[in-house]
Amino acid sequence: MKRVPRIVLTAALLLPAALAVRPTGASAQVPDARTVASRLRFAPLRFDPPEPIVRDVQGVKVFFHEDRSVPLVNVIARFEGGYGLFPRDAYATGTALPALLRYGGTATLSPDSVDQILEYYAIQTTFGGGGESVFSSMNTITEHLASSLELWGAMLRSPGFDTAEIEIWRGRELDAVRRHPDDPQRLAFSEFNRLLYGDHPVGWEMAEADLAPQRLSRESLLRMHGRILCRDNLMLGVTGDASWSEFKPLLERMLGSWPRCAERLPDPPLPKVRDTGGIFLISRPIEQAVIVLAHPTDVHLGDADYFAAQIGNTILGAGGFSSRLMARLRTEEGYAYSAASLWTTPNKYQGLIGALTRTRPENVVPALRLILDILEGVRAAPPSADEVSTAVDQISNGFVFNFETAAQIIARRMSFQAQDLPSDWLEKYLRGVERVDPPAVQAVFKRHLRPWAMTMLVVGDPERINLDALGAIGPITFLEPGSP
């Protein structure tokens, strides 16, 4: 029986030779901590994650790993399909679907009854989704597996979509829509996405019109459910205190009445990402202005440039206090408490490279100029070997946390399958980043980073921002949230 690896670092519970005996007397010399640390030696870490078996049950791919360490079973469901595959008038329905699978009851049980059974059997569940998928998980004590699986399966397969719960969800969303302009950072991110992606699911922001009763109803939820949560879109992951022979009959019973998909899902729409640059200002009388700037790039997950882009992004601003943006904007100049970079690499369309920070309105222009200077700097010269080594170490040292639990491993395998990535993608990823050197980082920035072509959005107080100096960087367009 294969168990989840436990990687443990120890000093053998014995004092290192440097500390084992402390000499006494006037001539005694005790080594300093740096010397002691340099003498420590550890056996090499072994990377040997468990490999789940893959089975087919009723046409559903199942990733299974037996783990007898604790008397619990985890089951994960992932469905292809989400609001991003459907027209805008289905946006609220697709967004509400995961929450109302959890809180809307089933065809035979009221929401309160579902809550009582979950509490009685101590069943933990999660429900979530995104633009192109819906997912859920269930964790239960082994002795309650059959009852728990039956209830969870009914919540997914035969939801009740209680109308009172729909109205509760609608009310919360309407309140969030009305509060949206009061959160400067959220406003900046949503308006920036809209600027770059336009009328595409990435750029959508919930509006009152989306939440109209004719767009969000029990009937619309049932239609969306039938398109997404059908058997052909389903993938399952199972791990825990049960053998395959014990679990398979329960799974066959759950899937036996699950309907096949009546029609294929539509292909995801491809956005036309804005690439013309410009400075946009949303007026808000706030103490901390928000700055977001980015432009599209063509680096995709697994491309030849992908690994150098990951290291480059860590050096630029994703590496926390060791990154250039943090070192110069916060530590050297004191313009901001935090600053970060982004480099997204979706498979199907262009990603973004850019930066973001918050600063006092009076510092918007100098902070923005400094960011642009930093961006030019990573193009002009390769990073130091120490910067690359630090970035690689950050990724490598955190790598083991991808494999802390068997459920985590199963979930990742399912994600790789959904993205058509090889099953050993994480191992390839680690090897890829470890091969990156300083010239490769500069080369990827020179190929893909164009600071002069950035779309820049500022949310802040125009009475305190030096508009003349900002206009010297580029023409300013005043923007009202939600305007075309």
Identify whether 35 is part of a domain.
no
As a whole number of angstroms, the distance between CA 45 and CA 30 comes to: 30
Same domain membership, residue 385 and residue 251: no
Same domain membership, residue 299 and residue 238: no
Identify whether 4 is part of a domain.
no
- The answer to whether residue 25 scores a pLDDT higher than 60 is no
Same domain membership, residue 356 and residue 296: yes
User: What is the per-residue pLDDT across 257-272, written as a single tens digit (0 to 9) for each?
Assistant: 899 999 999 999 999 9
Q: Give the chain's domain count.
A: 2
Which of the four pLDDT bands, split at 50, 70 and 90, describes residue 339?
very high
Mean pLDDT across 309-315: 97
Same domain membership, residue 288 and residue 251: no
Identify whether 133 is part of a domain.
yes
Identify whether 26 is part of a domain.
no
Owning domain of residue 301? 278-478
Same domain membership, residue 236 and residue 98: yes
Same domain membership, residue 153 and residue 211: yes
Same domain membership, residue 212 and residue 307: no
Give the domain CATH number at 402.
3.30.830.10
Assigned token pair, 75: 């089951």
More confident residue, 28 or 276: 276
Phi and psi angles of residue 293, each rounded to the nearest 5 degrees, phi first: -145, 140
Domain boundary among 223, 256, 289: 256
Burial class (CB in 10 A: 0-12, 13-18, 19+), 89: middle
Same domain membership, residue 474 and residue 356: yes
Identify whether 171 is part of a domain.
yes
What is the percent of the chain where pLDDT is above 90?
77
Same domain membership, residue 219 and residue 293: no
Identify whether 268 is part of a domain.
no
Identify whether 327 is part of a domain.
yes
Same domain membership, residue 465 and residue 395: yes
Name the pairing type of β-strands 60-66 and 289-297. Answer: unpaired
Same domain membership, residue 348 and residue 313: yes
Output b/e per residue, 397-410; b: 16+ Cβ within 10 A. eebeeebeebbbbb
- The answer to whether residue 9 scores a pLDDT higher than 70 is no
Q: C-alpha dihedral over 391, 9, 39, 432, to 10 degrees? A: -30
**pTM score:** 0.86
Q: Of 460, 453, 476, whose CA–CA distance to 372 is shortest?
A: 453
Q: Which amino acid is at 330?
A: R
Same domain membership, residue 420 and residue 303: yes
Query: Residue 401's pLDDT is what?
Result: 75
Phi and psi angles of residue 235, each rounded to the nearest 5 degrees, phi first: -135, 140
Query: Residue 20's pLDDT is what?
Result: 43
Residue recorded with tokens 């939440």: 211
Residue recorded with tokens 């993938």: 235
Domain boundary among 256, 286, 318: 256
User: What is the per-residue pLDDT across 141-197, written as a single tens digit (0 to 9) for each?
Assistant: 999 999 999 999 999 999 999 999 999 999 999 999 999 999 999 999 999 999 999
Q: Of 45, 43, 41, 61, whose CA–CA distance to 53 is shortest?
A: 61
Query: Residue 386's pLDDT is what?
Result: 96
Identify whether 47 is part of a domain.
no
CA angle 459, 461, 466 (to 5 degrees): 100
